[in-house]
Chains A and B, each alone.
Chain A
């Protein structure tokens, strides 16, 4: 059942003004004098009212006046309907167990299980009990249930993961499980400080109490922070916190074969070690250390040997259109892998598969299927650079720009150059002072661009030269001339190559192929544990490693943790106010209240005029 709440309940005190018409009504009710008369029977037939009817009318007037005041006060108080209470009113006890990497220290997770089981047993009678496992994310293992046995059984099956700690996300999920009911959260954790160093702050309403159950701490921890290979030499950064052994043994394996090892004495916060062995040019490398007391999940770090895969850039255009772009991109084959396809051969799906960006220099000849694929590619997050030269159809490019932009006919110009409009833009910022050399290029023909587009560069006649447009999740940069040395001589100038490189990098939006991912960022199809894995879509080999921030065993004190929880209560109160305001603005019942009030006043005026 929905509840009624008010955004500004203080205005409800305004309802006390209803006393005014009530008092006036009581004072004025006998104001009309009593006149004895002999022919009242004829008055009854006249358009008048008898006193009893008059009194009813006066009460009606009073009710209308009181209603108008109540509605006015109610409208000012801004009423809104709250959500229905979900799943009945039984309180919920959520047992949230930290399964992050930091819980993998010897004995820590066993204590955590014991605390969780104890929390399940201590849950107040009549409460529903839920089990939540959390690390970077939060996974409701058992939803609110009266079956405590299943909760205890599932606690026994929990194991530490390789993820980080995110208290905010855990509390948010627990709050979602509790819903609008009263509840209690038993947070079983090692109080790792890192768990609060996220953007997910969460919020806990005041009706939900949070009990923190400390699963204990480690005296110290060792972790492999990074693995790098340069000049066939492998180096690793070993991190250590707290009390650590006097000497630590580390070894390097490539494709399962140990090729080097080293023993060192950790002194400061970290130690850089270099393995005295030649490392193969390719393969899967891993550096491991021996740490019996600290977290077990961070004792190894993987790396993929060999150069990183270049980003695949698809260039669509005719031979004469793509020459300079291909040459410019091929100057850095480690970064860009250029594939060129002619417009009439472009079919869409297969060509676009795995493409980090598309350079479009010609559209004539592209089939409908290909056009739809290009549009879908951009909307789906792809990047595209369009050179609006002679083989590019204005209508199709306009559709890529969305409803706001439009490409007009090309026009011949004389002595026109280009100037950067926004030097701080990521496309021009790397060029630095050399961006000004773009003005050395002369243009003979340009396309007219219209609409409220984001202009990055202008021609000297004021018309847009390079514009940006976000379309869906993707990004399109449109150059209002060609890149083929026909309408301009820009490809012949030194700034052409870096301009093409930075433009492509910008539209790729970080779609360069990576060689290392954190476990938390692993694709859904990949098991979330450290190792070298094959990414199904790109066929790239990627090293999955734990987040070394999770290796830091620094803890919060109980007081600091309670303070953090208190901030969440405040956040919840703030969110509740924001939510209430949003909800109230969506519902806007005050408008209806005012309308009804106006109707009441109009009726009051009509009836009142007949009474006086």
Chain B
């Protein structure tokens, strides 16, 4: 996977830049097209068996996709392109708890998650997957059932555009509810800061996984949460519980960072063991990184 870059056209994938783009659909398209434009290898390989078109060979394309008959006829290299069959129901779960409202770089985690969900939805819809959306805090707040209908993308974008912060987070509860509701195997993409009881969260995701659902967990964190860059003494007020803690950053930083590292390591270890794709995202980094994570996970799944 190519490392995200801040130069060239990829700068448009910067979440802060994306945030200034008008509609959610446009944002999603910008993210998806921008991310895919830099790829040398088709991400769609193996997704579908239905022929779509020929395309001139480009370095990086798999040699097995070259249509040798066409080469014999035209003495030019063409590769076959296929379209995926729409057989997957994908649900985007976006954490809308108050902790997701934190943003230190102009983009809150909720906004970042919304862009990511929009991009993923756009991508899935383009692949003719049925895509749905669930917004939750300590309960399911918004729900858009999966569908591959042409109007589904717009409905998805509207839902994401209207996503607002809720109350305290309880990630596991909606996951268990969803696991109970699912009757068909599909895919669940969780976008959350996972600032909840880790054991409960993992149990909720395992519940989904147990029902045969592919699960991808995007762990969205702000750079401040990852580095704790504060310098002066402050009263830190929790966004969800309103608890206040007076702390001297220089004293607490080491302990804090160790706990964050331990939390991330816990999620990474436990989810991998459960067969759940786990991707930690920094809201200051380009969104294509997240998309690539998703596509990479899909390619492994296929």
Q: Which residues of A approach B to under 8 Å, CB–CB?
A: 32-52, 54, 612
Which of B65-73, B170-178, B247-255 faces chain A?
Answer: B247-255
Contact B102–A37 (Cβ < 8 Å) = yes
Given contacts A35-B234, A48-B252, 6 further A-B contacts (CB under 8 A): A34-B235, A38-B102, A40-B241, A42-B255, A48-B248, A612-B248
Contact B259–A45 (Cβ < 8 Å) = yes
Chain B neighbourhood of A36, CB < 8 A: 102, 236-237, 239
Contact B255–A40 (Cβ < 8 Å) = no
Which of B8-16, B205-213, B225-233, B287-295 faces chain A?
Answer: B225-233
**A45 CA to B257 CA, complexed, in Å:** 11
In the complex with contacts A33-B234, A35-B234, A46-B255, A41-B102 CB distance below 8 A: no
Shortest beta-carbon distance, B199 to chain A, in Å?
A: 14
Interface SS of A by simple majority = mixed
**A223 CA to B193 CA, complexed, in Å:** 119
**A32 CA to B222 CA, complexed, in Å:** 23
**A412 CA to B259 CA, complexed, in Å:** 97
Q: Which residues of B approach A to under 8 Å, CB–CB?
A: 99-102, 109, 193, 195, 222, 224-225, 230, 232-241, 243-248, 251-252, 255-256, 259-260, 263
Chain A neighbourhood of B245, CB < 8 A: 40, 43-44, 48-51
Contact B259–A37 (Cβ < 8 Å) = no
Contact A39–B225 (Cβ < 8 Å) = yes
Interface SS of B by simple majority = mixed
Contact A33–B251 (Cβ < 8 Å) = no
In the complex with contacts A38-B222, A38-B225, A48-B248, A33-B232 CB distance below 8 A: yes
Closest B residue to A52 by CB, please name it: B244
Chain B neighbourhood of A49, CB < 8 A: 245-247
Contact A54–B246 (Cβ < 8 Å) = yes
Closest A residue to B259 by CB, please name it: A42
For B235, give its contact among A33, A42, A45, A46 (CB under 8 Å): A33
**A197 CA to B259 CA, complexed, in Å:** 92
**A290 CA to B16 CA, complexed, in Å:** 132
Contact B243–A50 (Cβ < 8 Å) = yes
Chain B neighbourhood of A37, CB < 8 A: 102, 224, 236-239
Chain A neighbourhood of B224, CB < 8 A: 37
Chain B neighbourhood of A42, CB < 8 A: 255-256, 259-260, 263
Chain A neighbourhood of B241, CB < 8 A: 40
**A244 CA to B121 CA, complexed, in Å:** 141
Chain B neighbourhood of A39, CB < 8 A: 99, 195, 225, 256, 260
Contact B236–A612 (Cβ < 8 Å) = no
For A43, give its contact among B109, B195, B236, B263 (CB under 8 Å): B236
Closest A residue to B254 by CB, please name it: A46
**A529 CA to B11 CA, complexed, in Å:** 127
For B237, give its contact among A34, A47, A48, A612 (CB under 8 Å): A34
Which 3 pairs across A and B sit closest by C-beta, in order of nearness? Answer: A40-B238, A46-B252, A51-B244
For B233, give its contact among A32, A45, A52 (CB under 8 Å): A32
**A33 CA to B236 CA, complexed, in Å:** 8
**A54 CA to B252 CA, complexed, in Å:** 15
In the complex with contacts A35-B230, A35-B236, A40-B236, A46-B99 CB distance below 8 A: no
**A44 CA to B241 CA, complexed, in Å:** 12
A-B CB contact pairs (8 Å), 17 listed: A34-B235, A35-B236, A37-B102, A37-B238, A38-B100, A38-B101, A38-B193, A38-B222, A39-B195, A39-B225, A41-B238, A42-B256, A42-B259, A46-B247, A48-B252, A50-B246, A52-B244
